[in-house]
Amino acid sequence: MSAHFLALDWGTTNLRAWIATADGTPLVRRDFALGVSGLAPGEAARRFATEVRPALQAEQLPAVLCGMIGSTLGWTAVPYADCPATFGELQRSLFAVDDGVWIVPGLRTERADGSGPDVMRGEETQLFGWAMSDPARQRGEYLLCHPGTHAKWARLIDNRIDGFVTAMTGELFAILRQHSALRVTDAVENETAFDQGLEAAGDGGALASRLFTARSRVVGGSMTSAWAESYLSGLLIGAEVAATPALLGIDVPGPVAIIGEPALCQRYARAMAHRGIEAHVHDGETAVLAGLAALYRGTLA
């Protein structure tokens, strides 16, 4: 088996690919505008072989793929692994789609608040990758937050994801800022307005009512329209941070590991600091590579 492998994080809108060593050190990186939402049925396998592999000169390397490529929109629908799920169980659930090509299955859980099932694809690789990067993280209990279009909050206990919940904060922000009465055309980022949104979020309840203040502050004359988008961002993130941990049965969050795109993670860290929650930011790209590499090493055993 090769000492190098092809690592892919293949999502809805884009694809990140690396040639990496078995310990997760990246050697080559390429980004592709090949999100699964734009692929026809059966197209993923063909474009992987004819575009992705040649672009990295990786025609013969084994490959591990995570993300929406394992959904009904992607290469093939890979069954979810059920929570509680250990890293070992995730590795044993890798789905072979070709000789030396595996897709990570994603996770499914029953939400602790009793509202039904929840799912993730791709985030599990980053969350476990964060844990696998430090042996100390593989013992004890941690609250993990993965911001994004569909943010994930998960409980990790002794390197086992016990459960998680999703918050559609990123998607809601995009819809409101583009297609609602809260849309503005002269947005300027402003930390003061973001902090005002955090304060207005309160305990996270009655969000549909609180959202209207992003408009009423502007038309009422207490905030310039250019700041409304920053205020809206703070309001949504603040409500998520205030209310979501309780859905996992956590009333008073301890330290939170925030894993993902650094700039967005810093916004979440600011929201947590506002509520007196200790938080530490970790790079999502480093985490996903660590997770894919650990999964690849499992195929060598």
The CATH number covering residue 76 comes to 3.30.420.300
The single-letter code of the amino acid at 244 is T
Q: Tell me the pLDDT band of 2, cut-offs 50, 70 and 90.
A: confident
Same domain, 70 and 110: yes
Same domain, 217 and 188: yes
C-alpha distance from residue 255 to each of 59, 276, 279 (Å): 43, 10, 5
Same domain, 222 and 241: yes
Same domain, 274 and 174: yes
Q: Tell me the pLDDT band of 296, cut-offs 50, 70 and 90.
A: very high
Question: Is 162 inside any structural domain?
Answer: no
CB atoms near residue 233 (< 10 Å): 25
Contact 92, 82 (CB under 8 A): no
Same domain, 184 and 277: yes
The single-letter code of the amino acid at 138 is Q
Question: Is 150 inside any structural domain?
Answer: no
Q: Which domain holds residue 93?
A: 4-132+288-300
Same domain, 232 and 127: no
The CATH number covering residue 186 comes to 3.30.420.310
pLDDT tens digits along 192-242: 999 999 999 999 999 999 999 999 999 999 999 999 999 999 999 999 999
Question: In total, how many domains does the chain have?
Answer: 2
Q: Is the pLDDT of residue 104 over 70?
A: yes
> Quick one: pLDDT at residue 300?
81
> Quick one: pLDDT at residue 301?
66
Contact 165, 248 (CB under 8 A): yes
Question: Is 149 inside any structural domain?
Answer: no
Contact 231, 217 (CB under 8 A): yes
Mean pLDDT of the chain: 96
